[in-house]
Amino acid sequence: MSSFVIKSIGNALNATSLISSKYATKKALNLFASPRKGRYSEDQRKVVSSALFEELSYDGLDIATYRWHGKGKTVLLVHGWESNASRWDYLLEDLKRQDYNIIALDAPAHGRSGGKQFNAVLYSECINTVAKKFKPEVIIGHSVGGMASVFFMHNHPETSVKKLVLLGAPAHFTGVFARYKSMMGYNRRISKGLDNVVLERFGKPVDYFSAANFTESIEAKGLIIHDKMDRIIPFEDALLFANCYKNAELIETTGFGHSLKDASLTSKIIGFIND
């Protein structure tokens, strides 16, 4: 959406909040949690067509998984917002050459998974379902997929995961929420209402959901990769991770953007996995 359309929607909800802040907040939350894209295009289907497809289930939600069988370490690939498992096309062939046992999943409301809404907490429980099935030794998570992976490992410390790669991951939900509120130009009624909904739904305030803080309890070895020019998730988030995640290395890049799709990083990721 253009910035004009975004601000127009924000202004309309702000006006609505004068009549019913509860209704306006509900609409704002639905807008935040409803991906506008992420389902497969024809070209994207080709990327996963060679994989063994299997549906798992979490709390009645179908979770689409894809497996490229290998005899080596099991690697779980976790994509981010408005994406799907095909985003790993640039990495798949190199991982296959290492004979890794590769698993990828589609997030809720993305790809071929069920649901209409998404949040990182729900995603983390879907990751847990997949991890219990395939027992990955390594997770590679991009963007909010990295955040959800941290949530999963924090809440399920008995996991089989020994190594974690975070690509352009947000360090805390507070920043994600604040950027959304700012982008939409929401007034204080809606902003406060959104914070209250998080507290009511999850039993914790927004600032509790800090992936950076959660890494303090993670024993798995970590690799943090973040671009200094990332326009989606600020580089400062990587520094927060590096400060809290004591058993992790930070690789700074310049010019690869938020996607971090570059061959020079693939060798670093594989070297980390094999070390």
Specify whether the CB–CB gap between 17 and 181 falls below 8 A.
no
Average pLDDT over residues 206-217: 96
Number of residues written out for the chain: 275
The chain-wide mean pLDDT, for the chain, equals 96
Residue-range domain boundaries for the chain: 1-33+173-208, 40-172+210-274
- Element containing residue 77 per DSSP (H, E): strand 74-78
Q: Give the per-residue pLDDT at 48.
A: 97
Cα–Cα separations (whole angstroms), residue 265 to 114, 132, 135, 185, 219:
32, 28, 25, 36, 23
Specify whether the CB–CB gap between 154 and 216 falls below 8 A.
no
Alpha-carbon span 153 to 170, nearest angstrom: 16
pLDDT tens, residue by residue, 212-236: 999 999 999 999 999 999 999 999 9
Return the DSSP state at 41: P
Specify whether the CB–CB gap between 61 and 115 falls below 8 A.
yes
Give the Cβ contact number of residue 83 at 10 Å.
22
Residue 261 above 80 pLDDT? yes
Q: Give the per-residue pLDDT at 2.
A: 66
pLDDT tens, residue by residue, 3-12: 778 889 999 9
Instruction: Please enumerate in sequence order all residues whose Cβ is within 8 A of that of 256, keeping only pairs 6 or more positions apart, or say none.
Output: 227, 229, 262, 265
Residue 213 dihedral angles phi and psi, to the nearest 5°: -60, -35
CA angle 214–216–217, rounded 5-degree value: 80
Give the Cβ contact number of residue 49 at 10 Å.
10
pLDDT tens, residue by residue, 127-170: 999 999 999 999 999 999 999 999 999 999 998 999 999 999 99
Q: Give the per-residue pLDDT at 1.
A: 61
Q: In terms of CATH architecture, what is 40-172+210-274?
A: 3-Layer(aba) Sandwich (3.40)
**What's the distance, CA 229 to chain centroid?**
19
